[in-house]
Structure 1
Amino acid sequence: MSDHSLAVLEYHRLLELISGYVQSPAGRQVIMRSRPAIALAEVQSRRDLYADLLALLDSQRSLPGLHAEDLGDILSRVAPGSAVLPGEDLLACRSQLDTVTEVAAFLQEPDSRRFVCLSRLGDALQPCPELRQALQRSLDHDGSVLDSASDTLRTLRRSSGNLERRIQRTLEDLLKNVELDEVLQEKFVTSRNGRFVIPVRREARNALTGLIHDHSNSGQTLFVEPSETLPLGNELVSLRLQERDEVRRILAELSARVRERLSHFRRNQEILAELDAAAAVARWARDFDCRLPAFGPVLQLQGARHPLLLAQFRQDGQGRVVVPLNLSLPKEIKALVITGSNTGGKTVALKTVGLLVLAAQSGFPVPVEEGSLFCLFDNILADIGDEQSLQANLSTFSAHIANIAAVIKQAARGRSLVLLDELGAGTDPLEGGGIACGILHALLQGRTMTIATTHLGMVKNYVHSHPEMINAAVRFNAETLQPEYALDIGRPGASHALHIARRMGLPPAVLETAEGMLSQEHLRLEDLLATMEAEQHQLSSHSAQAKATHAELMRERSALKQQQETLQRERKRILNDAFKQAEAIVSNARRDVENSLREIRESAQSAQHVAAVPPRSQVDAAVVKARKLIAEKERIYESGLKYTAAPVRPLPLAAVVPGQKVWVEKLAAHGRITAVPEHGHKVTVIVNAIPFVLNIADLQVSREADQPAVPPPVRVIKPRVSGQTSHEIKLLGLRVEEAIERLDAFLNASLLAQLEEVRVVHGFGTGKLRQGIHTWLRKQKQIRDFRLGKDFEDAGGAGVTIVRLK
């Protein structure tokens, strides 16, 4: 890519904007070194990484802090074989490993593994856990070496501490000697040059034997180490020297271990910087409402906005809005020429296209709407702005022509995007127009897409007559004399020079002279272009209103859909609650029956209540009454369930009449038909006082019929004990359900009769009846246990089950 084009299109300013979102200097360097790629695979690789970071932000998660210190200088200094790093530098190395460990753990989480690019970078990180533990064990938060760095260091420091306390106690005892009151300046212990001393008056120097280490600023106080502590002080100095050597040994060992893993530290730094830069791009993209670029055979921009203008308007705080640019070029078009008033709109469009293409080929998300497509270019070449060169003694026109000559030469080397501002300007309009047409013709010969701006009528006519070129106009408001920055492709734009001059206060006489100098054909053309522009403005206004109406309808449709989903969820919840309530009702009823039966049995077994035991007929009546209670509660539940359950019978066409009650499955609610069209398959239905126009196919017959309700019959289960003897019931040939129903009644009667053991005859057969009975018996609380009959011991053998009752 041309450095000149990058500078003209302000690519570096875009990088500066994005780098404001990084957390580390290394991340900023990665951003500032970014350049557009020309290979699709490289662009896609960068894009995929940014896509992962954007998806991570969307999941309300973010990478751990990536503000690790840049280790470049430290790693360079430790590379020589004998280099020893100070504790502060080793602490920086530990900080990197701490960050690497945290980031690697985050990217190993199951929720992070779906991000392929991030996972790949996370797998490449080297946490060096053993070295990290050694650095944590050895270094304090300020880089000083901890006692835990080695046993030797811990012993030396403990000895030094004990010796220091011993010296201090000796000197404190000396200070308490009253004979030294006239000798001492003050009574305290201090240190000078690493030795413990006491303050002595200069005139009393000979009264105390010892070594002078320092004196006060006035010279009146001498700091003396008494002879009593001199041997101890010497021993302390020796211990401190040994400690210093041990600390240096520890730092040298740690430095050597860092040196062994230099490649790991350098690779970690590269990955952390890359992650920081990518995370910054994602945050910038979210802040500026950007989308990942998509690539195709044509250039198609929808809602494109210049990122630097977005940032400037945001910083100004004046509420200004960047007008989005829409640009769509057919595949056969190789040149777009933008015309219109000289008020800046054309150049903004040119720079917007150029900078967004550079950003897209860098893999960056770009501020465009969905549906935008970018082409991949080998060269992006631009000639924009005042290119006058004082050093080369070139005029503005000459400088432009020199640049364009270089552009034409470079454009032939591959697929190129050429951006030319004010083509043909700076010289005689007639000659400038001819040169501009020649330049456009030359650029058509290669694989070049050209976007140019101009005011020259000759160029407009040339473009209009060429099948591979197309005109475009920057929309202009004739009342405010301001560009609206919207681009109308397919028509040239008027210059509005006379209108602007009139508004800017140019004397009428001057304007009259100017109009007299212009041909009638030129004036009619300008008026025609201005009229076309006004009509286009009106069409755009109507189109905007239509889009707003459509958006409002789509919002209403979305709201109705959400309401439908809410109603369906509520319906499911009601049904679920009804099922739970029904289960609770039946369970409570069964528990009440079991409690009643238990109380009857307990009463029958109590001697003092023998006379109160009810006759058999009353007990049977109680059982029947309890079963009626259960059946009644089941009936109540089923009745309610029929009301809430959705119908399944479709609505016949004969029933499609006003007033017909229907069920609307999509809304999960009942409604009533109010209007039926003569033709078509839609009707108007009122649901909860809201009219809906619905397809007849979406309606079903409502079970809320207007006929009088007929209460369903109550099902009474009567105990049947046919085939029963006093201790035996025969269930041969019955289905499992019927057999269990009879067995339930038989066991209830046996319990009331206070039987301890009964026989259930089920036979052999396939074994299905026996298995069903055994499964049911295991769930009955009134059963103590049961077993299969034994051959030669129990009549019927394995065709009988012996049941013992509680």
Structure 2
Amino acid sequence: MIYPNNFEQKIGFDVIRNLVKEKCISQMGRERVDEIQFTSDFETLNILLQQTDQFKSAILFDDSIQVQDFYDIRPTLSRIHIDGTFAEIDEIGEIRAVITAIINIVVYFRVKNDDQKYPHLWELCKDIILEKDLLEAINKIIDPKGQLRDNASEELRRIRREIIKISGEADRKIKKLLNIAKKDGLVKEDAEMTIRNGRLCIPVPAQFKRKLHGFIHDESATGQTVFIEPTDVFDANNELRDLLNAERREIIRILTETTSLIRFSLPNLHIGLEFLGLIDFIRAKALFSISINGILPKIFDNQIIKWGKAIHPILFLNFKNSSKEVVPLDIDLEKDSRILIISGPNAGGKSVCLKTVGLLQYMIQNGLLVPMQEYSEMGVFDSFFINMGDEQSIDNDLSTYSSHLRNLKTMIEHLESKSLFLIDEFGSGTEPTLGGAMAEAILERIYGTGSFGIITTHYGNLKMFSETHPQATNGAMLFDTTALKPLFILKQGKPGSSFTYEIARQIGFPEEIIASAISKSGTSQIDYEKVLEEVELEKMELDKQLRMVSQTDEKLAEIIDSYSLKFQEFDKQRKEILQKAKNQALTIIDSANQMIEKTIREIKEVKAETSKTKEIRQNVQHLKEELKKEINSVEKEESISPIIPIHKTTSKSKPHTSDETPIKVGDSVFITDIQTIGEVTKINGNEVTLSFNSISLKTSLSKLVKISKKEARNVKRTGLSQLDGTRIGEVMNEKVAHFKTNIDVRGERADAAIQIIESFIDEAVLLNVHQLKILHGKGDGILRKVIRQYLSKRREIRKFEDEVLELGGCGITIVEL
């Protein structure tokens, strides 16, 4: 159920309908838009949304679809269904264009389906019968320019040849007569042949019409010129007229024959037209979704509104060409908090919030994509109710309050657990005390229906409603008490203030009147609301900072674990390389030994002295041992050490050794994983919380080395070094200088791209870089989707969005950390 009848006008869906209709290229598509209706059937809704989302992907990321020549040929088909009738040449040309359009679209999605793309769109195409034989028959008689071919039949070819021949003879004769008439001064020098009543004529001044023999067919409007067909071309013109009549008869015969073929295919053509209208409709929805940055959120077959960064699409389009920006809406309605009571200043955005919820929920249930974050969750409602605006009526003798009560009465009678209701300025229009009491009583009845909804109000008793009704919650439209302007931000959990006097000052209301009003009402409530609002704004800022710290903490722990694993892998590879080198060296030694033994044998064979042979053998053995020692020393020298503090020692000082006493809160420790100094703030079993550089970090005791306060101060003063003496700060500065804020993963497989991006973001976080660009290209959108799913899971990422259209659009993702 949709209530009232002008529900679509109240939420602005009539504007959305017209905007979608403007994207259509055919009358069939526009009629589909007019017939659009919301659905609460989850399976049907999912199909509609998938169709739109897949067409959007095809437009953005795939080969262009040939969407043209969607002619409305229904009047022609309706006229020619009677035997004996025929379609004209231009009408058959339109039929040919429609058949071609159907074939192009079906073939396009058939090819894409072979690549496992756009399954829901292929489902629409697969049963469409392609009239290829009819298309071939039409192409035989009509050329690409839409003209009937000379060879459409042998008779037509003969007739047209004769027409060309006779027409040429007639032209030559009349040109000859025209030139003679010009020489005789009977016609003007610039006179040319013309056609009157289908006959070739010469324009002759009226005073000379008796001097040129022939038949007068017409005269000019002034009567000063007459158009004469000379007697010498009578026979040629008569023969030409007969040939033209014969040509028309042959054309009608050909068209009638072709129309009979079309008539046989009328059922398939009607189905094809319905198909083109549907494709045009889905395409229009996809184009509109692109224009408002619409996406397909998570859809559930229950009642839920859990949206992030939702945008009112009409406001977005209105502000698109100006410097204004629409403040996004974050809202959460679930079973345990299904009724939201919004309060706050006038012109603070309460009604816009109400309309945004109604419009976006109605759009999604009409198969339209909506502008919000992809992680948003949307449910399905069976009925919609709204009470908004002044509906007083002189005809029905209804006041504003009476009309509100009538709407609320209808709501109470029809609301159920799967309903969504929207009530603006609840209880207004009558005496405040009584109106507030009446509104509270009505809200209690609505609460009992189990329905979901949003209410805006200024009444204090409604702000207290959530205290006794756990499934209702308050919301406030925030107000900047310093700048005296609304922020248009919805904050759930606390009621808001109306800021009556602040708004009056903002619009320049006389101060003496405001002062008088304050003296009458007192300042306690004003001070309380002002402090409450300031505390709420400070809380939002603290929450933001806390999230950033928490994200930094978690990210740092991830980086530590990541680099620890990488170090272990690197050490493993080093050992493998050294072992391989060792084996190669031993092989060389053995080869050399064999060569030496061979030399000794040769010496023996020539009866060398025994003492000399023994001496050579000892030298060889000595050489072999020396080579082994060198290999072992290389292995020791090549061992890799992590970055550690380097302590210079003198004869009076010894190298530092770690303190073996247990680590406790307040101790200074050296964190081996990240090679830095921190202070223990909390110990819970084997888990330790540390603080360093204003960052909180959790790690295990096994990764810490206790050091003295003096040692900690020395390290902080002198900094950490690598074994080669390079300072860590110098290394970091070098990394920052060479770090690039953009990365290109086009052509990479999805898993490889994610690994590249993971390292890219890790290094950016470590170097405190705040904005990155990921170039993934458009393609079929799979890589972009995988990357965005990964980005949505990274807590340190504040937001991500497409690049502006001129700089790459959806082929590039901007990431803000």
When normalised by structure 2's length, the TM-score is 0.65
Cα-to-partner distance string for 1:498-523 (whole Å, 9 max, x where unaligned): 333344444555445434443x6xx5
Specify whether residues 503 and 209 from structure 1 end up closer, same or farther in structure 2 by C-alpha distance, changes over 3 A only. Answer: closer
Q: Which residue of structure 1 lines up, in the alignment, with residue 243 of structure 2?
A: 239
- Distance in 2, matches of 1:177 and 1:354, equals 84
Amino acid at match of 1:236: L
- Structure 2: runs of 5+ lacking an equivalent: 564-633, 648-671, 679-700, 706-719, 736-817
Specify whether residues 324 and 648 from structure 1 end up closer, same or farther in structure 2 by C-alpha distance, changes over 3 A only. Answer: farther
Specify whether residues 61 and 547 from structure 1 end up closer, same or farther in structure 2 by C-alpha distance, changes over 3 A only. Answer: farther
Counterpart check, 1:328 vs 2:370: no
The CA deviation at 1:256 is 2.9
- Distance in 2, matches of 1:159 and 1:430, equals 98
Given the alignment, which residue of 18, 26, 42 partners 2:20? 18
Cα-to-partner distance string for 1:625-674 (whole Å, 9 max, x where unaligned): xxxxxxxxxxxxxxxxxxxxxx999x9999886689xxxxxxxxxxx999
Given the alignment, which residue of 247, 250, 253 partners 1:249? 253
Question: Which stretch shows the higher mean deviation, 344-353 or 216-225?
Answer: 216-225
Contact 2:560 2:674 in 1 (8 A): no
Given the alignment, which residue of 65, 69, 89 partners 2:91? 89
Q: Which residue of structure 2 lines up, in the alignment, with residue 376 of structure 1?
A: 380
- Distance in 2, matches of 1:339 and 1:87, equals 67
Q: Which residue of structure 1 lines up, in the alignment, with residue 452 of structure 2?
A: 449
Q: Which residue of structure 2 lines up, in the alignment, with residue 542 of structure 1?
A: 542
When normalised by structure 1's length, the TM-score is 0.66
Counterpart check, 1:53 vs 2:55: yes
SS at match of 1:444: helix
Counterpart check, 1:485 vs 2:485: no
Q: Which residue of structure 2 lines up, in the alignment, with residue 528 of structure 1?
A: 528
The CA deviation at 1:23 is 3.4
Given the alignment, which residue of 278, 282, 291 partners 2:282? 278
Given the alignment, which residue of 320, 328, 334 partners 1:314? 320
Larger radius of gyration between Structure 1 and Structure 2: 1
Amino acid at match of 1:537: L
- Distance in 2, matches of 1:196 and 1:512, equals 96
- Distance in 2, matches of 1:201 and 1:363, equals 72
- Distance in 2, matches of 1:366 and 1:85, equals 45
The CA deviation at 1:427 is 0.8
Q: Which residue of structure 2 lines up, in the alignment, with residue 689 of structure 1?
A: 731
Cα-to-partner distance string for 1:146-198 (whole Å, 9 max, x where unaligned): 32322221211111111111223344555677999477777865443223344
Structure number with greater CO (CA < 8 Å, separation at least 6) is: 2
Given the alignment, which residue of 283, 296, 299 partners 1:295? 299
Specify whether residues 116 and 377 from structure 1 end up closer, same or farther in structure 2 by C-alpha distance, changes over 3 A only. Answer: same
SS at match of 1:349: helix
The CA deviation at 1:379 is 0.7
The alignment yields a C-alpha RMSD, in angstroms, of 4.0
- Structure 1: runs of 5+ lacking an equivalent: 564-646, 661-671, 693-806
Cα-to-partner distance string for 1:384-432 (whole Å, 9 max, x where unaligned): 12222232221111111111111222224x6210100111111111111
- Percentage of pairs with the same residue: 27
Cα-to-partner distance string for 1:533-573 (whole Å, 9 max, x where unaligned): 2111112123345667888999999999999xxxxxxxxxx
Cα-to-partner distance string for 1:332-387 (whole Å, 9 max, x where unaligned): 23321111112241111111111111011112111111321122111110001222
SS at match of 2:281: helix
Contact 2:333 2:339 in 1 (8 A): no
- Distance in 2, matches of 1:65 and 1:356, equals 28
Contact 2:335 2:471 in 1 (8 A): no
Question: Which stretch shows the higher mean deviation, 346-355 or 534-543?
Answer: 534-543
Specify whether residues 384 and 680 from structure 1 end up closer, same or farther in structure 2 by C-alpha distance, changes over 3 A only. Answer: farther
Specify whether residues 483 and 516 from structure 1 end up closer, same or farther in structure 2 by C-alpha distance, changes over 3 A only. Answer: same
Counterpart check, 1:148 vs 2:151: yes
Q: Which residue of structure 2 lines up, in the alignment, with residue 476 of structure 1?
A: 479
Counterpart check, 1:107 vs 2:109: yes
- Distance in 2, matches of 1:682 and 1:25, equals 74
Specify whether residues 410 and 169 from structure 1 end up closer, same or farther in structure 2 by C-alpha distance, changes over 3 A only. Answer: same
- Distance in 2, matches of 1:344 and 1:74, equals 56
Amino acid at match of 2:462: V
The CA deviation at 1:435 is 0.9
Specify whether residues 558 and 363 from structure 1 end up closer, same or farther in structure 2 by C-alpha distance, changes over 3 A only. Answer: farther
Q: Which residue of structure 2 lines up, in the alignment, with residue 119 of structure 1?
A: 122
SS at match of 2:269: helix
The CA deviation at 1:224 is 4.1
The CA deviation at 1:56 is 1.9
Counterpart check, 1:258 vs 2:262: yes
- Distance in 1, matches of 2:108 and 2:635, equals 51
The CA deviation at 1:47 is 0.8
Amino acid at match of 2:42: L
Specify whether residues 222 and 332 from structure 1 end up closer, same or farther in structure 2 by C-alpha distance, changes over 3 A only. Answer: closer
- Distance in 1, matches of 2:115 and 2:124, equals 12
Contact 1:112 1:119 in 2 (8 A): no
Q: Which residue of structure 2 lines up, in the alignment, with residue 305 of structure 1?
A: 311
- Distance in 2, matches of 1:179 and 1:529, equals 102
Contact 1:342 1:495 in 2 (8 A): yes
SS at match of 2:420: strand
Q: Which residue of structure 1 lines up, in the alignment, with residue 650 of structure 2?
A: none
Contact 1:495 1:526 in 2 (8 A): no
- Distance in 1, matches of 2:409 and 2:29, equals 39
The CA deviation at 1:112 is 5.7
What is the aligned length?
A: 592
Q: Which residue of structure 2 lines up, in the alignment, with residue 342 of structure 1?
A: 346
Q: Which residue of structure 1 lines up, in the alignment, with residue 391 of structure 2?
A: 387
Given the alignment, which residue of 136, 140, 160 partners 1:137? 140
Contact 2:59 2:65 in 1 (8 A): no
- Distance in 2, matches of 1:561 and 1:84, equals 80
Specify whether residues 200 and 333 from structure 1 end up closer, same or farther in structure 2 by C-alpha distance, changes over 3 A only. Answer: closer
